[in-house]
Structure 1
C-alpha cells in the first residue's frame, strides 16, 4: 500500500494516511518548538496491510461505532443480519466497528497539507449495502497545520429513505510523549461525569455516576489505569469537548478537541502496549438495538438527500504552567 503524506510547510509536522485501508491516518508527527512528537501509535508493519485494520492509527468506525449485539438488528420492521466476517465480528459474535475501516476510499482532493477521502456504501462497499437500511457516505478531510491534525467530516444520505448512522474514531495515542517520559508521569483527562453499565462490552441501557476508577475529570495516571469503558455525561450547553494526555516529565501535552455531537467517549488501554485510546463516538455501542430503552443513545437518522458536518482536532504542545 502507498501512503499519502500531508505536511505543514512551515513547521514540518506531517501525517501519513492509507486510502486503501479505510483512510486510516496511521502516523502523525507534530513539531513542537522544533521537537518531533510521535502522536499516533501503529505497528511498524501497519502500512503493509498485514495488521488488523482496527489495531493502530486512527480507524474510522462508520456507519456504526463499536459493537452491534449478535450482529443483528431491526429497522422499520426489517431484520438485518450482518456478515460473519472476522474483520467485523468480535470473539463473541457481535458485529464490530462498521463497514469502512478495511476497504479502499476514494481520494477526491489532495494538496500539500491536506487530503480528502470519501467512502460511499453503494460505491465502495457494494457487497455490504444489503446489511444496512440505506445508502450513506462519509467524507473526511485531514489537514496538518502547525502542531495540529484536523479532520473535517461530512456524512450524507444520497438516497430516498431515511438512514440511521453513528460515527466514531479509534485513535491510538502513543505514550509517553517523549523518550524522557514514563507512563507513571502520564495523565489522561476527560470531562465525563457518567458511564454506561456494561456486560461483555455491551451497554445494558443504563447510565450511572462515574466510578472512581473511571473518573478522569481530575486526571488519572496511565500506569494505574486499566480501561475498556464508555464514558458519557459530558458538560451541557457547550459546543465542543476536550480530552487530553499530559506527559508531565516531558512537559508535553496532546489534546483532542471535538464537536459536541460526539457525546460518548470510549477509553481503552490496550494490554501490553504503550498507548491509550480516547475514542469519540456520536452514539453509544449497540445504539441501534437500544431504541426501546428509555435512555438517550445518540443514534441519529439522516433524512433523504441531507447531510451533516462535524470535526475532530488533535494537537500537541508544551504544558503551560
Structure 2
C-alpha cells in the first residue's frame, strides 16, 4: 500500500497520504505551541483495507462533487449515462466523481510536500467515455508549521471543452484534544443562504439559512444535524470555515479562494466528526446549468488550466 508521509520538521506537524485511493490525505497531525491536534478522521484500518474512500480522510471530488441526478446528464447535445458499478452511487444518483477511489501517480516529493497527478484516460480509462473531455488533475500537498495546503491544478488536455466542478470532503475529528468534548466544539461558516434540496438534490432554488442551521455566529456540534449545501459566502477573496474547541483554546480553520462558492456541511451519523466541504459548484451542477441556473459549473477550453488552493491550519485561539 503506497503511502506518502510529509512533515514540517521544525514544528513536528505530519500528514499521511494514500496514493492508492485518490491521493487521500487520511491523517494530519498539526502541532502549534507544542500542542498536538489530530485533525482528520479516518478508520484505523484505512487505507489498508481499501473500504469507503469516500468516508475517510480528505476525499478529492472531481470532475463533479456530490451527486449527478440519476447518473445522467446532457452536454452539447449528447446524453451521458454513468453506469452503477463503474462509478459510485448513492440513493440512485452518481456521486463524488472519478478520482477518489483510483490510484494516482506520484510526480515528485520531498520532506514537506508531495505532488501527484490523475489523468482520466490513463488512470481511469474505463471512465473516459463517461465525461465530455479528458483532463489532468494535479494536487500538491505541503506542510508549513501547522498548516496543510493543497495546491490544485485542473488542465484540459483534450481538443474539446471540459466542464468541471471540484470539491473536497474532509472529515474533521472532534474534539480537537482528547481532554475536551465534541459537544464543546463550535462550528462556524459565514453563509447567508442554502440551496433547497429534495433527496439531497438541489431544486434550483435558494433559501435563507434556517435558524437551526445558521452557522454565522457559530453553533455547537452536539446541536447540529447537517447535510446541507450553503451558499452566499460573500465576495471576499479569501473565505473560511472553522471548528473551535473552546476548552482547548484551539481552532482548525479551512481557508480557500472565492472560486469555492458553496460549502457542504455534513454531520456523519454516529461519528464525532464533521465534514466541511468546499465546492466550486453546487450538487448536480452539470444538469442545473443546462436549465439556465447559475450552478457554478466551470468550463475550460482545450489547453487551458485553472489553479486554486485550500489550506487547513491549526491555531491557538486568542481570548
Assess if the C-alpha contact under 8 Å between 1:21 and 1:49 holds in 2: no
Q: Which residue is 1:109 aligned to?
A: 108
User: How many residues in Structure 1 have an aligned counterpart in Structure 2?
Assistant: 319
For 1:205 and 1:299, the matched residues in 2 are separated by 14
Cα deviations across residues 177-205 of structure 1 (Å, max 9, x unaligned)? 00111122110000111000000000000
Contiguous gaps of at least 5 residues in structure 1 = none
Q: Which residue is 2:249 aligned to?
A: 251
- Give 1:16-27 correspondences, 5 Å limit: 16-27=16-27
Q: TM-score, normalised by structure 1?
A: 0.98
Assess if the C-alpha contact under 8 Å between 2:87 and 2:97 holds in 1: no
Q: Which residue is 2:8 aligned to?
A: 8
1:70 aligns with 2:66: no
Q: Which residue is 1:204 aligned to?
A: 203
Q: How far did residue 137 of structure 1 move?
A: 1.3
For 2:33 and 2:255, the matched residues in 1 are separated by 21
Q: Which residue is 2:304 aligned to?
A: 306
For 2:102 and 2:31, the matched residues in 1 are separated by 31
Assess if the C-alpha contact under 8 Å between 2:288 and 2:294 holds in 1: no
1:46 aligned counterpart, secondary structure: coil
For 1:87 and 1:77, the matched residues in 2 are separated by 22
Assess if the C-alpha contact under 8 Å between 1:43 and 1:51 holds in 2: no
Residues 103, 53 of structure 1: alpha-carbon distance in 2 compared, 3 angstrom cutoff: same
Assess if the C-alpha contact under 8 Å between 2:42 and 2:56 holds in 1: yes
Q: Which residue is 2:89 aligned to?
A: 89
Q: Which residue is 1:260 aligned to?
A: 258
Assess if the C-alpha contact under 8 Å between 2:160 and 2:301 holds in 1: yes
For 1:15 and 1:142, the matched residues in 2 are separated by 9
Q: Which residue is 2:164 aligned to?
A: 165
2:172 aligned counterpart, secondary structure: strand
For 2:202 and 2:99, the matched residues in 1 are separated by 23
Q: How far did residue 259 of structure 1 move?
A: 1.1
For 1:175 and 1:27, the matched residues in 2 are separated by 14
Q: How far did residue 86 of structure 1 move?
A: 7.5
- Give 1:97-176 correspondences, 5 Å limit: 97-176=96-175
Q: Which residue is 1:79 aligned to?
A: 79
Q: Which residue is 1:57 aligned to?
A: 57
Assess if the C-alpha contact under 8 Å between 1:265 and 1:280 holds in 2: yes
For 2:20 and 2:157, the matched residues in 1 are separated by 23
For 2:237 and 2:49, the matched residues in 1 are separated by 37
Q: TM-score, normalised by structure 2?
A: 0.98
Q: Which residue is 1:41 aligned to?
A: 41
1:228 aligns with 2:227: yes
1:223 aligned counterpart, secondary structure: helix
For 2:292 and 2:209, the matched residues in 1 are separated by 19
Moved more, 207-216 or 62-71: 207-216
Residues 184, 167 of structure 1: alpha-carbon distance in 2 compared, 3 angstrom cutoff: same
For 2:237 and 2:50, the matched residues in 1 are separated by 39
2:55 aligned counterpart, secondary structure: coil
Q: How far did residue 2 of structure 1 move?
A: 2.7
Moved more, 169-178 or 80-89: 80-89
Q: How far did residue 233 of structure 1 move?
A: 0.5
Q: Which residue is 2:28 aligned to?
A: 28
Q: Which residue is 1:271 aligned to?
A: 269
Cα deviations across residues 151-176 of structure 1 (Å, max 9, x unaligned)? 00000001111010000000000010
| Superposition CA RMSD, Å | 1.0
